[in-house]
Structure 1
Amino acid sequence: MWRHGFGRVHKWLGLALSVWMVLVALTGTLLLYKTELLQLQYPQLRLTTLPTMAEAAAVFDRFDAGYAFLPRDDKPWTEVIDGDGTTHYFNAAGEHLLARTELGDWVSWMVEFHHHMLLHDLGKDIMGILGLLSLLLVIAGLIRWWPRHWSWRVLSVRFVRPGQRQFMATLWQLHRSSGVIFIIPIAALLITGTAIMYAAFVNQSLERLLPQTSAISSAPMPTTPAYNWQQRLSLAKDYWPQQSPRLIYLAPTAEGNYRMRLRHEGEWHPNGRSYLVFADNGPMVSSDDVRARALGFRLSQTIYPLHVAAVGGWAWLTATLLGGLALILLPVTGVWFWWRRRRR
């Protein structure tokens, strides 16, 4: 009786969430190759020379709002997002290559839909709720399917063309087997994606649960004033030689300070979670090394890298790709099976 109840939950949740799940999984899977898609659409981004830190700093000094990313091997350009949300790309010579307005191309549409369904904060709340429901959907499906006796046949698939009589069996077997075989990447994508929607709550909860900190010795704060981004980046390199600047906040804070994010060797987060703060036309005023933060906070910062396959090399990238494809296949085969069965 209880298995039947979980089956009904799985069926109706699957029908309700099918379109959303296909679109989110499709956009997320494609965005694993965002750089390649941008270079395919905009040939001017197919760069071979990586801008230096000094060349990037010269570009940053042209802007007084928004934020910017330092060049990386997987993004061989200087990237600036201005105060209006337009993304600018520059080469090593500081030449302006491209300006992408918000929702100005199909890659931007995919990003905005995958992040918050084109609805900003409201979309983020909706995505969080749908993410929790999708986890319930997967759990209910596993409980409903769980076999009383295990054998290799419980995961076998007999492929039959759509026009043939046994095609419904193929749909059911594909739905069942893809969900079970790829359950680890599927669960990882759903859990991390939902956790990102509730990042503040997850970060605070883990920090309270695991408050242990590590003692990290820091050098004395330099007193040399910095008047531009070249000098701030140079000070940052001298102060933390083991960390690399990754993200620059171009607009000053309410106190008139400038911030940058850095990544230490071995850190999972591609943009790092350590901070340096500089006074306007003044010296460095504070530092925040992520390695000295609570264990729970550091653990929470592994969620995003896992979701976007920024760690784990080709093995986790392949697993994430297969998980995304499975999240497309599951609703398609499930709804198709339900529709053919209902028509009969």
Structure 2
Amino acid sequence: MQLLSWLHRWTGGIVGILLAVIGLSGTVLLWEESWIMLPGADQPVVADPVALGEAVAAARKAGPELSRITFASEEIGLHQAIYADGSGAYLNQDGVLVERWASRWDRPELWLFDLHHYLLMGEAGKSITGILGFLLLGFCITGLLLWWRTRKTYRFRIWPARFTRSAIVRHHRDLGAVASPLLILVAFTGAMMVFPTISAWLLYPMTEEQIAPPLPENLGRPDEQTNWPLVMARAQAAFPTAVPRRLMMPAAEGAPLALRLRQDFEWTPNGRTYVWIDTRSAHVVAEQDPATSDMASSLTEKYYPVHAAKVGGIAWRLVMSFAGLSLAMLGLFASWSFWAGQARAPYRQGPRTGSAAAV
């Protein structure tokens, strides 16, 4: 137990600040629709294919080389357009430009997303957040084992009783015991999203062979002649009851464009139903229906909506907010108390004198 305690304290002292940053940024992102106060953000969703097609055409005119457009949802009633140069725009559901930005630093929800997922470090930062997820799993398990010895002194506190090292340690121990079940869920879903290979290995017994639909490679690129309302109408006809969520321009020359839709049974906000379209003829060239996927894919699809509280309504969002704020406090106070204790340690121990020193 002494070695376990030493590992828990030292590792937490080193990475506690990073965990606090991830916890706090994630909590703020849970409520982003409440603080994105742009005109039209609270507009009711209109899923008419003609209106969506006109919005795509407007988004293409608003910036250079549209990369993708995420359509308005019940959370945010604005279309979000992202362009190849990293800039972006919000348009209302009438296709009118509401906000334009040159980089992610111009919009708080964008750089907060990058901070939470990538620590502002790109793919390397994404790997670090995944590793932090596994470390958080370890902290929760070891913390519960260490707490069990002192469970009779348990007293739940949202905030430390005093800002002394001993009071902060007790607060860390007891808050961690309450938050650990939620933090285990947060850590696991986050790590599995970062490292899908590990997820695939864990879910291998539930995996069935999936054949990706063949896609043509000699199609024309979208241009000024593209009939976007017709494209959206024909794509919607492939899954009449699904809601169009994100249109992605061709990733390579000759490739079709892709539309993501969300069916009723899907938890992921943007869905995993795909329709690929030839913009020249506005014909559907391929489809992918998650209703025919295996159990492993069905479980994988739920990582993000559970992690980001995109399901469960306001109740689950409040629960996950508690988890995020708890992680922020646990990480921040753990780092502060650990390094403050290390700084004072030499002075507390001090040199021994007299007969005691001679023993």
Identity of aligned residues (%): 23
| Aligned position for 1:81 | 82
Query: Displacement of 1:207 after TM fit?
Result: 5.7
| Aligned position for 1:44 | 39
Per the alignment, in what secondary structure is the counterpart of residue 182 of structure 1? helix
Q: Give the 5 Å matches for 1:48-59.
A: 48-53=43-48, 54-59=50-55
Q: Which runs of 5+ in 2 are unaligned?
A: 211-224, 349-359
TM-score by length of 1: 0.85
Using the TM superposition, name which of 241-250 and 50-59 deviates more.
Answer: 50-59
1:308-339 Cα shifts (integer Å, max 9, x gaps): 00011222111110000110111233234335
| 1:284 matches 2:284 | yes
| 1:185 matches 2:182 | yes
Using the TM superposition, name which of 125-134 and 289-298 deviates more.
Answer: 125-134
Distance in 1 (alpha carbons) for counterparts of 2:269 and 2:128: 27
Go from structure 1 to structure 2 and tell me whether the alpha carbon gap of 1:168 and 1:210 turns closer, same or farther (over 3 Å shift): same
Query: Displacement of 1:156 after TM fit?
Result: 4.6
Distance in 1 (alpha carbons) for counterparts of 2:202 and 2:35: 35
| Aligned position for 1:198 | 195
Q: Which runs of 5+ in 1 are unaligned?
A: 215-225
Q: Give the 5 Å matches for 1:61-72.
A: 61-62=57-58, 63=60, 64-72=65-73
Check conservation: 1:102, 1:108, Cα contact below 8 A.
yes
AA of the residue aligned to 1:332: L
Aligned residues: 321
Query: Displacement of 1:85 after TM fit?
Result: 2.1
4+ residue segments displaced more than 4 Å = 156-159, 339-342
CA-atom RMSD, angstroms? 2.5
1:62-88 Cα shifts (integer Å, max 9, x gaps): 425311112112110122111122221
TM-score by length of 2: 0.81
Check conservation: 1:65, 1:251, Cα contact below 8 A.
no
Per the alignment, in what secondary structure is the counterpart of residue 75 of structure 2? coil
Distance in 2 (alpha carbons) for counterparts of 1:197 and 1:68: 24
Distance in 2 (alpha carbons) for counterparts of 1:107 and 1:116: 14
1:288-324 Cα shifts (integer Å, max 9, x gaps): 1011112101111100111100011222111110000
Go from structure 1 to structure 2 and tell me whether the alpha carbon gap of 1:252 and 1:138 turns closer, same or farther (over 3 Å shift): closer
1:198-223 Cα shifts (integer Å, max 9, x gaps): 13x14533563212589xxxxxxxxx
Check conservation: 1:52, 1:92, Cα contact below 8 A.
no
Distance in 2 (alpha carbons) for counterparts of 1:340 and 1:102: 36
Q: Give the 5 Å matches for 1:83-98.
A: 83-98=84-99
> Which structure is larger by alpha-carbon Rg, 1 or 2?
2
Go from structure 1 to structure 2 and tell me whether the alpha carbon gap of 1:46 and 1:232 turns closer, same or farther (over 3 Å shift): closer
Go from structure 1 to structure 2 and tell me whether the alpha carbon gap of 1:277 and 1:169 turns closer, same or farther (over 3 Å shift): same
